[in-house]
Structure 1
Amino acid sequence: MLSVVIETRNHEDALARTLASLVGGAVEGVVREVIVCDAGSSDRTHTVADHAGCHYLADAHLEAGIRQARSEWLLLLEPGARLLDGWMDAVLAHAGDATGPARFQRARQSKQPFLARILSGRRPLAEGLMITRRQALSLSQREPSAAAIAKAITARRLGAEIVVAPFSKG
Structure 2
Amino acid sequence: MLSVVITPAGGPEDLAFLFARLVPAAVDGLVREVIYAGAADATVEEICEATGARIAEGLGAALAQAKGPWVLVAPATFRPPEDWQDRAAAHLAHRTGALRIKGVRTGGWFARNPSAELRPLARR
Q: Distance in 2 between matches of 1:106 and 1:69?
A: 23
Question: TM-score, length-normalised on structure 1?
Answer: 0.66
RMSD: 2.0
Structure with higher Rg: it is 1
Offset of 1:82 from its aligned partner?
A: 2.1
Whether the 8 Å CA contact 1:50–1:56 is kept in 2: the answer is no
Tell me the distance in 1 between the aligned counterparts of 2:16 and 2:107: 18
Number of positions where the alignment pairs a residue of Structure 1 with one of Structure 2: 124
2:79 touches 2:103 (CA, 8 Å); kept in 1? no
Letter aligned with residue 111 of structure 2 = I
With normalisation by structure 2, the TM-score equals 0.87
How far off its partner does 1:10 sit?
7.1
1:81 equivalenced with 2:78 (yes/no)? yes
Q: Which residue of 2 aligns with 1:154?
A: 123
Distance 2:76 2:94 in 1: 28
Structure 1: stretches of 5+ with no match in the other structure: 111-125, 140-148, 156-170
- Identical amino acids, percent of aligned pairs: 29
- What stretches of structure 1 move > 3 A for 4+ residues in a row? none
In structure 2, runs of 5+ residues without a counterpart are: none
TM-fit CA distance, 1:43? 4.8
For the structure 1 residues 41 and 82, does the alpha-carbon distance in structure 2 shift closer, same or farther, using more than 3 Å as the test? same
